[in-house]
Amino acid sequence: MKTTFIKYKKLLIIFSILFIPLMFISIYRIEYTFVAPGFNDDISYFIIIDEGSDTNSTFHTTSVLVQDKITILQYLVGTQGDSVTVKEFPKYYENIDIDDLNIMSYLMKDDSLATSLVVGIRNTGFLIDSNTYFTVYLTYDNLTPDSLVIGDKVLEINGRTDFEDALDDVICGEDTEYKILRGEEELIVNVVQNELDDETCPTGVYFDYFTEINSTEIDYTLIETDTGGPSGGLMQSLYIYYQLVDTNFEEDFKIAGTGTINVDGEVGSIGGIKQKIITSARNKVDIYFVPHLSDDSSDNYIEALEVYNTLNTEMELVGISTFQEAIDYLVTRESGDGNE
């Protein structure tokens, strides 16, 4: 036994020197996020419009692969790749339950689907009735205990329905009365805005709007998927629209894009634009829509164009700010007139 140990001692030492550090960097997690190229998802797989039109083109949303609390090995690999973004957790992560981000993501997805139906159906002249609520999407540690929770729909703030202005008028340290809808029950809760160390005085809540469908003359089915977030809104709206109108494009286009949508058809910015452009170029997309809301360097279209110019692709990159601008562009492709 001793002879065997001596014989393999050097090999065991070398193995330990190599294996133990490798195990450590493969297991130990750090507070960084890893964003990598993902998939182009055919919308017809998860939104089904009964008796929808047959179009010779397909519509796709774009998802990216995101992982929070990555390992040291993932960090090292990610920082060496051009297609991957590695970034440190935002400061606000210190004041939330990380698991709540998943809940928020799926709330955003549900809102995105409902809003897409509103925009797509209304723009074809069919009837659809909906409500949009000012809603709690995320709560922070400084929120008054036993008050607001994720999913609460705000009906009044201090008796007012101009919610954003009402929040601006809240005085630090004083009670704010919220009339909310939680499930089917109306409640009154009180929240105190508390001053933080950095001398800000936030409520401790992230609010955004949430749309629910009441009724529509269009029959549809939504299929559950694992993808969360609101960034499919624009493309879902376009797909629904083109399911309800008769059209044929000049070619069999693979149409994709990204961008949130609100009930007025306005497009909003998204994250992960670099990886979404790379994903779509790899998947041979023909037309790709991107939010173009300003000429600032952080604008989605400006960032997308920078990545696009490094790729060997024939994909058309189209910057838009509204649903109607996307429709107008596609109308030119129906007749074969446009080519950006």
Hey, which residues are catalytic here?
231, 276
CA 5 to chain centre: 57
CA angle, residues 160, 163, 164, in degrees to nearest 5: 140
Closest C-alpha to 189, from 160, 163, 154: 154
- The residues, ordered by sequence, that sit 6+ positions from 162 with a Cβ below 8 Å of its Cβ are none
Task: Specify which residues 187 forms β-bridges with.
Answer: 180
**CA torsion angle 118 124 129 130 (round to 10):** 10
